[in-house]
Structure 1
Amino acid sequence: MRLPSYVRKPSFPFAAEIWLALCCVLPVHAAVHPIQHSAREQINALVLTAAGHEIDALAQKQQWQDYRYTFNIYIPSTVSTSALCAVTPQVTSSTSAKMALSRMNFVVSCPGSAGWQYNVAVRPDVSVPVVMPKSLIARDTVITADDLQLKKFNISNQREGLMTNMDEAIGLTSKRALQPGKPITRSELVQPILVKRDQPVMIVSHTAGITASMPGVALKNGRKGDVIKIRNSSSQRIISGMVDDTGVVTTLTAEQ
């Protein structure tokens, strides 16, 4: 049986009030001072708290800002045959870190000869401000701050790679057209081309603490960190170098 439970989480990392509304399950005053009258209410309250702790821990790790979450809690219907536990039941989590945003699993057990144990599933809906385009961004566009906005988005069951900080995207290039209102993922962006084929480059060589530079020509396109072939314009030798900046390639070995 599903019990919907709602939590509004204030901006992280500041602690603030948490409002709980247990629809058609608990009276209004129980949201502030919960008093459990049945095993079902007992389980619901404990799982709600445990699930909230898991999301809060994930938010701190991922450095989410101003996140919100709601939970749908699924308690087996057979709980209706179980009595209220005389002591606080134990709650253990079997949720993997990768699954926390799609499904959490808890085991709630009441000790003693008349005790009970139930497996409880929780499906969260977590909304976090993520990086989105303000308007259509064409393919092969270098992203600027003016292109981006932070907008709330339900990240539950979403593929990995969503960005929550615009600085992660600024300066990168779109691999395809990016639509407004849709989150930008890291896989949709690449480093910009800093060196273009057949265009002049500055070859920088570091040897024994001495730095020398010489003109050259790139033999292929390159992004930052790419190793490409370049031709020394003076010696006409073809050497390998790593793209370091716009029009700048650093040799992997000393240029002779």
Structure 2
Amino acid sequence: MIRPIHSLLTGLALLVLAFFPGSPAEAAGIEGAQVIEIRVLPEAAVYGESYQLGDIAELDGFDIDLIQKLATVEVGKSPLPGRSQRVTKSQIESRLNGLIHPDQYQLLVPKTALVSRASIKISGSQLKEIISEEITKQFKDFKEVNVTLVSRIDDQFVPKGKASYRIARIGQPVKAGGVGSWAVGLEVDTKLFKKLVVRAKVEVIDEVVVAKDDIPKGKTIEEADLVTVEKDVSKLPQNYQSSSELVVGQQAKRQISQNESVRVSLVEEPIVLEKGQPVRLVYQNDKIYLSNIAIALRSGKKGEVVPVRTVDGKKTVYARIVDSEQVEVAL
């Protein structure tokens, strides 16, 4: 009778080993351990670049230390803000593999479990308004600015936080306004999240000095020759004038047509000293002042250096033109 009982016990031992491949001590430990229940939520919102098991599931059990450890297990990368993605049972099981024995937990996953990235939605119309306002601020020195966005602006989703914007024109424009590309940086908590490129047409209205009537070539321009009007300066050369101060008293290099903007490049200093004209020649420094009468040997404009010959000594010197009556030599 002893041999059959021994054989029966041996068979039972082999049966136990078949179900529990580990040592008898390990099998006894698993059997005595409390099972942790992991209930994955049908929908979960996450905030960071990746999400953990505790972000998408409820964990119940008596082993608090193990529950806390499992809650920090990284399950996957978070979807983009405003997007969702499915999480599967096999995905979670692969993350738990090696950390906990399958018999120590019960994983409950709904038919469809979705993980969404918590985000702030910035509507296309709202973003359009923000971009237009920021571009307008960059032309604050002008009388009026009208911004038309040419590009389509879609809704944007950014992570939760303090949203801000950086907007700068791309390239080096040669004149104010016009059609151009703008870089739009979407920032969250001062960190760049996304960069957009938009096309915008900027109409910049400013006061422009124009010719009241045709101004002939060589004419010295007077205040009566000019009038100030409002124009879109994005369509004008960059050196237009909004004040007549720099052009009154100047001489037209060519004919300036009626209503044409009078620019510095179209005018020049007039000839104030003609060749053969008598002029006062002044020598001076901090301690001495001398003057003489001389004859201009070349015509010139104010500020130019021309040769003159003294009447008495017949000596030729070079002097800077002060005005139509005086030239000066600095000693």
Normalised by the length of structure 2, the TM-score is 0.56
Question: Per the alignment, do residues 171 and 98 of structure 1 end up closer, same or farther by CA in structure 2, a change over 3 Å counting?
Answer: farther
| Distance across 2 between alignment mates of 1:170 and 1:142 | 8
Normalised by the length of structure 1, the TM-score is 0.72
The aligned residue for residue 199 of structure 2 is 121
Paired residues of 2:165 and 2:187 also in contact (CA < 8 A):
no
| Distance across 2 between alignment mates of 1:231 and 1:97 | 54
Q: 1:147: how far off? A: 0.8
Q: How many residues align?
A: 206
The aligned residue for residue 219 of structure 1 is 297
SS in 2 for 1:50: helix
1:194 matched to 2:272? yes
1:70 matched to 2:146? yes
Amino acid at match of 1:109: L
Paired residues of 1:132 and 1:148 also in contact (CA < 8 A):
yes
Larger Rg over CA atoms: 2
The aligned residue for residue 92 of structure 1 is 166
Q: Aligned to 1:39, which of 105, 113, 123?
A: 123
Question: Per the alignment, do residues 97 and 106 of structure 1 end up closer, same or farther by CA in structure 2, a change over 3 Å counting?
Answer: closer
The aligned residue for residue 231 of structure 1 is 309
| Distance across 2 between alignment mates of 1:44 and 1:168 | 40
Structural mapping, 1:104-115, within 5 Å: 105-109=182-186, 111=188
1:48 matched to 2:132? yes
Paired residues of 2:144 and 2:204 also in contact (CA < 8 A):
yes
Paired residues of 2:162 and 2:188 also in contact (CA < 8 A):
no
The aligned residue for residue 247 of structure 2 is 169
Q: 1:200: how far off? A: 1.2
Identity of aligned residues (%): 17
Amino acid at match of 2:168: S
Paired residues of 2:275 and 2:299 also in contact (CA < 8 A):
yes
Amino acid at match of 1:75: S
Alignment RMSD, CA only?
A: 2.6
| Distance across 2 between alignment mates of 1:95 and 1:234 | 65
| Unpaired segments ≥5 residues, structure 2 | 1-120
Paired residues of 1:39 and 1:84 also in contact (CA < 8 A):
no
Paired residues of 1:39 and 1:85 also in contact (CA < 8 A):
no
Q: 1:120: how far off? A: 2.1
Q: 1:223: how far off? A: 0.7
Question: Per the alignment, do residues 85 and 168 of structure 1 end up closer, same or farther by CA in structure 2, a change over 3 Å counting?
Answer: farther
The aligned residue for residue 24 of structure 1 is none
Q: 1:93: how far off? A: 2.5
1:87-108, Cα deviation, whole Å (9 max, x unpaired): 6643213327952523361314
Q: 1:226: how far off? A: 0.4
Amino acid at match of 2:131: V
Greater share of residues in helix = 2
